[in-house]
Amino acid sequence: MILHPAISSLPAWRYRPGLPVALSLVLFVLLLGLAFFPGLFTSLDPLLADPTQTLRAPSAQHWFGTDHLGRDLYARCVYGAALSLQATAIAVVIALLAGTLLGGIAGWFGGAADRVLAVLVEVLMAIPALLLAMAIVTALGFGTLEIAIAVGLSSVAVFARLARGEVLRWRSRVFVEAAQVVGVGSWTNLCRHVLPHAAGPLLALAALEFASAVLAVSALSFLGFGAPPPQPEWGLLIAEGRNYMVAAWWYTTLPGLVVAGVVLATQQLGRGLQRLQGEHP
């Protein structure tokens, strides 16, 4: 195909992840503010019921409307972030640390450790993550912290597999072998020279898994495994609103859009970080 000279002289377009990553990072920082400082975003009490304001549509007074007890849904979504996002963060940290430890040991030492990890990863990857999390939280008991631990343990295999691959990729580098020659211990070499180079891909995966963990935490809360009412977990808000979908569409729709927005933002952040890792190995 022959292009017009003015078009053919233009530089080839290439995706530049800097701006989307920056915007996603700003939104991610905002979400952390919601999780740890919800009082900065609303002055309303998420637990205060007002029988005269039940099922009010979104307005200037109530941005997200009200629920069946007259509680402000925007305030409940904001304070729900403190529960849902903190649980998500705990889950990702558990998966990241445990997976990096297991994958690092298997990739560095090999042998029996590598074979045991391979079997463990295959078993865990064969079970759907949400089903595995449900089994774990059933054994641990119901609650927000228990959900966080269950979701974290169900995601360990993904991080372990990536950490093992990164350790295998870096352990044969000249500077790592040189450190071994001069007598640096295996654990010191692994922690000081290998794992820091594997941090980029692992953090990018953590951003992607954060999105999956938000969905898993919300799903388990929706099913009743999380904090009991009147705590405003996101999944619980959606579950409470499903009985009022015809009369009050905002009850379920707006908390659902909040969850969807968080998932899309963190996925964009993770994909942008992965692209940046690909450009700068």
* Structure tokens given for 222: 């929706």
pLDDT (0 to 100) of residue 9 = 42
Q: How many Å separate Cα 150 from the centre of its chain? A: 14
Cis peptide upstream of residue 46 (ω within 30 degrees of 0) = no
Average pLDDT on 153-173 reads 89
Residue 155 counted as domain residue: yes
Phi first, then psi: give them for residue 66, nearest 5 degrees. -130, 165
> Could you read off the pLDDT of 184-204 as tens digits, one per residue?
777 777 777 788 888 888 988
Single pTM value for the model: 0.84
pLDDT at 273 over 90: no
Assigned domain for 7 exists: no
Which pLDDT score is estimated for 109?
86
With a pLDDT cut of 90, the percent of the chain lying above it is: 40
Nearest by Cα to 73 from 53, 93, 95, 92: 53
Residues 92, 241 contacting (CB under 8 angstroms): no
At residue 136's C-alpha, the angle toward residues 158 and 34, to 5°, is 70
DSSP sequence for 28-82: HHHHHHHHH-GGGT--S-TT---GGGTTPPS-SSSTT-B-TT--BHHHHHHHHHH
- Say if CB 20 and CB 272 are below 8 A apart: yes
Could you say which DSSP state residue 223 is in?
T
Query: What is the predicted pLDDT for the residue at 8?
Result: 40
In a domain, 87, yes or no: yes
Helix (H) or strand (E) holding 263: helix 250-279
Residue 4 in domain: no
Q: Given this model, what pLDDT does residue 18 score?
A: 60
Tokens (6 digits) for 277: 């890792």
Least confident of 2-16, 168-182, 189-203: 2-16
For the chain, how many residues are written? 281
d(CA 32, CA 26): 10
pLDDT of residue 6: 44
Residue 260: inside a domain: yes
Does residue 16 register a pLDDT over 60?
A: no
Given this model, what pLDDT does residue 92 score? Answer: 95
Count how many domains the chain has. 1
Q: Report, as an integer, the average pLDDT of 235-261.
A: 91
| pLDDT value of position 3 | 44
pLDDT value of position 5:
45
Three-state secondary structure call for residue 118: helix
Q: Which residue has the higher pLDDT, 229 or 63?
A: 63
Q: Cβ distance 259 to 234 under 8 Å?
A: yes
Domain span at 221: 18-41+74-279
What are the tens digits of pLDDT across the range 258-272? 999 888 888 888 787
pLDDT tops 50 at residue 216: yes
Find the mean pLDDT for residues 38-59.
91
Residue 68 belongs to some domain of the structure: no
Nearest to 208 by CA among 142, 275, 147, 253: 275
pLDDT value at 13 more than 70: no
Give the model's pLDDT for residue 185: 72
Question: Which residue would you say has higher pLDDT here, 95 or 179?
Answer: 95
Asked if residue 95 lies in contact with residue 163, where contact means CB atoms within 8 angstroms, the answer is no
- CATH number, residue 118: 1.10.3720.10
Is the residue at 69 inside a domain?
Answer: no
| Residue 228 pLDDT greater than 70, yes or no | yes
- Asked if residue 245 belongs to a domain, the reply is yes
Lowest mean pLDDT among 4-18, 118-132, 135-149, 222-236: 4-18
